[in-house]
Chain A
Amino acid sequence: MARPSRSLPTLRQLLAGVHMRLILFTVALATASLLLSGMMVIRNYAARNLQLTAHTVAYTVEPALVFGDRAAMLEGIVSVAGVGGVDRVELREPGGAVLAAWEHPHGDLHSPFEDFANGLLWPRPARHVVQRGDRVLGEVRVYGNSEGVLRYVLSGAIIALSCLGLTVIATRILARRLQHDVIEPLDHVAAIAHAVRSDRAFEKRVPASGIAEIDQFGQDFNALLAELQGWHAGLTSENAELARRATHDGLTGLGNRVLFEQVLGEAIGASVRSDVAFAVLYLDIDDFKSINDRHGHAAGDAALIAVAERLRSSIRHVDSAFRLGGDEFAVVLAPFHNRAHVDGVVARIHLAMERSFRLPSGLFARSTVSVGVAVYPDDGVSPVDLLRRADAAMYQMKRHARCEGETGHGADA
C-alpha cells in the first residue's frame, strides 16, 4: 500500500476548486442573464419612450407647422425632448429638409464610446409623421441616448462584482464547514487503517459519522476490522498451539527436550547474572521396560502419565519438569541458596511416587524413579556437562538401589 504522493491533490483542495468554479460559473451566469434581461427591458422601455417622445413632439409642433412658425417648432421640441433619454430631435419637411433640430447637451459622461453605444443601441431613430387630416406636414425623428443603459450596465457590473465577493466569502465558509464534515470522518478512517497496518491495532473502531455514506463506509470498515481481528486471533492461537506442540510432549503435557535445552540455557544465563546456584534433576522410571513387556504399552503410557503428574505436583511453580524421551524426565529447579532445598525436592518426588495409579486394565500399580542431581556451577557450567553429571548421578543411585536388593519395585498385583 503506497502512501499518496505529494503531487496528488487532497480532497480539501479538490472541494475548494470545485466550489470556486461553481461559484464563478453561477455568478457569471446570473450576472450575464440579469444584465442582458435588464438591458432588454430598459431598451424596450427606452424605445417606447422614444416613440412616445416622437409622438408628443409631433403633436406639439403640428400647429407650428401649420402656421409655419419655426421658433414655435423649436420651442415645442425643447419642451418635450428635455426629459432625458433623447440624444437628438429633428423636425423635417416632407421633402427632407431639416426645419428644426435639437441636440442633447452632453455632460461629463460624453465620450466617443457613448456615441458608439448610441449608434449600437439605436441604429435607427424613432420616426413619427406629422399629419393634419390627410396632409403630411412633416416628420419627427428622435435619436435615442444610451446614457441610461450605460449607467445601468455600470451599476449592474459594480453590484455583480460586490455580490461575487460576498458569495465567494460565504461559500468559502460553507465549503470549509462541508470539508470539515466530510474530511474529518475520512481522516478517522485513514488514521485507524494506518494504526491497524503499522501497530496491528485490530481492536480500534471508526466512530459514527453524521453523513449516511460515510457512516455506512465506517460501519463496513468496522465489520472488516472485526473479521480481520477474528482471523488474527485465530492465527495467533493456532501459532501458539503449534509452538506449544513443538516444545511440549503430547502424552504427558510436559516440556520436551527442545524446551528443556532452551530453559536450561536461560537458567544458566540467569544464574551467571545473579550468581545464584540452581540444580538439574535427571530421572527415569525403574524397570519401565518390564512394565511395558508385562502389561502392554497402554500400561506403560499410563505409568508415564502418572509419573509426570506426580513430578509436576512435587515441584514449585517456579521449577519446570520435562520429558526428554522414553522414560527419561528432567527438572530444572529455580535458583536456591541452600543445598537442603534440593534434597527436599528429591524426597518429595520419592514420596509422591509411593501413591499407586490405575492401569487401563483396572489394576493399580506403583512405580519408583531414580533421580540424579547436578548443581550449577559446582557440577558443570555447560548444559551438556550438567546433564551428563545428573545422568551419571542417577545411574549411580540406581546401581546403589539394586545392590540394596530386595525391595519390591515394578508393578504389584
Chain B
Amino acid sequence: MALHGFLILAAALAADTSGPAGAVELVSAAGEGAGAAPRGESLAPETARIVGGIIEYTRWPAPGTPLTLCVAGNAAQAGRLDAIRLADGRAVQRRQVAPLPLAIVGCQVLYIGTVDPATTRQLVGAVRGKGVLTIAEADPACRSQAMFCMNYEPRAVSFRMNIDAIARSGLRVDPRVLRLAEGGF
C-alpha cells in the first residue's frame, strides 16, 4: 500500500513537469492491467450504484428520455446497469454495441468493457466534445482518456476520474462528485 502511494506521488510530480498544459492528471502510474482484472459477477451491484451516481450528477446539454447507456466490448460488471433508476424518474436503457466509433452514435453514456487500449482511445476520441459520458471498466489507471474509470480493489469498489477529459467532454459534472473519486479533491 505504501509503495502504491509512493508511485501515485511520483506520477503526480511527473505530470506536473511533463503533462499536457492546463490539464490536471489524476491518474496513477501503476502498471496497466496490473491487479485490475475484474473479478467475478458479484461486483455488478456496486458497479451499477457508482455508474448510477455518476449519471445522477452529470448534466447533459440535451437530456434524452430514456437515457441510452451503451456497453461496448465485453463488460464483466455491467449486469445490473439496466436496473439503474434516476431520482428524477428517468429510466436507463441499456444497449450492447460493438466497440466501433460508428456503432456508438446516439449513446449518452458509453460504458467500455474489456477492450484493448488502442480501441478504447479510439472510442473515447470519437465522442470527445459530443456530450457523451465515458466510463471505462478495465482501466484502473485511467490512462485511456475516459472521464471515469472503475477501480476494483480487493475490499472496495471505487472510481477515478480524469479532470481533463471531463473538462473537454461538453458535460457538466457536479463538483461534489469530485470529492468522492479516488485521489479526488
Residues on A facing B (Cβ under 8 Å): 59-60, 62-64, 66-69, 72, 75-76, 132-135
Contacts and interface: CB of A to CB of B under 8 A. Distances in A.
B170 to A, nearest CB: 21
Contacts, number: 36
Given A63-B57, A63-B174, A72 B87 contact: no
Contacts of B7: none
A59 B175 CA distance: 12
B152 to A, nearest CB: 15
B179 A75 contact: yes
A68 B51 CA distance: 12
B8 interface: no
Interface string B156-185: 000000000000000000101101100000
B57 A76 contact: no
Chain B at the A interface: SS class: helix
Interface of B: 49-50, 52-53, 56-57, 86-89, 174, 176-177, 179-180
B56 A66 contact: yes
A64 B180 contact: yes
Contact of B180 (A59, A69, A133, A134): A69
8 A-B pairs with least C-beta separation: A133-B87, A132-B87, A67-B53, A66-B53, A63-B176, A133-B88, A135-B87, A72-B180
Given A66-B56, A66-B57, A133-B86, A72 B179 contact: yes
Given A68-B49, A72-B179, 10 more contacts: A63-B177, A63-B179, A63-B180, A66-B56, A67-B50, A67-B180, A69-B180, A75-B179, A132-B87, A134-B89
A60 B56 contact: no
A109 B49 CA distance: 45
Chain A at the B interface: SS class: helix
B89 A133 contact: yes
25 contacts: A63-B53, A63-B57, A63-B174, A63-B176, A63-B177, A63-B179, A63-B180, A64-B179, A66-B52, A66-B53, A66-B57, A67-B49, A67-B50, A67-B180, A69-B180, A72-B179, A72-B180, A75-B179, A132-B56, A132-B87, A133-B86, A133-B88, A133-B89, A134-B87, A135-B87
A134 B179 CA distance: 24
Contacts of A134: 87, 89
Contacts of B57: 63, 66
A60 B53 contact: no
Contacts of B87: 132-135
Contacts of B89: 133-134
Nearest to A133: B87
B49 A62 contact: no
Nearest to A132: B87
A61 to B, nearest CB: 9
B176 A62 contact: yes
Contacts of A66: 52-53, 56-57
Contacts of A75: 179
Contacts of A67: 49-50, 53, 180
Contacts of A72: 179-180
A93 to B, nearest CB: 15
A60 B176 CA distance: 7
Nearest to A137: B87
Nearest to B87: A133
Nearest to A131: B87
Contacts of A69: 180
A76 B179 contact: yes
B109 to A, nearest CB: 16
Identify which of A63, A64, A72 gathers the most chain B CB atoms within 10 Å of its CB.
A63
B75 to A, nearest CB: 20
A170 B174 CA distance: 64
Contacts of B86: 133
A14 to B, nearest CB: 73
A142 to B, nearest CB: 19
Contacts of B177: 63
A65 B176 CA distance: 12
A72 B89 CA distance: 25
A267 B90 CA distance: 147
Contacts of B176: 59-60, 62-63
Identify which of B52, B87, B174 gathers the most chain A CB atoms within 10 Å of its CB.
B87
A76 B180 CA distance: 10
Contacts of A133: 86-89
Contacts of B49: 67-68
B87 to A, nearest CB: 3
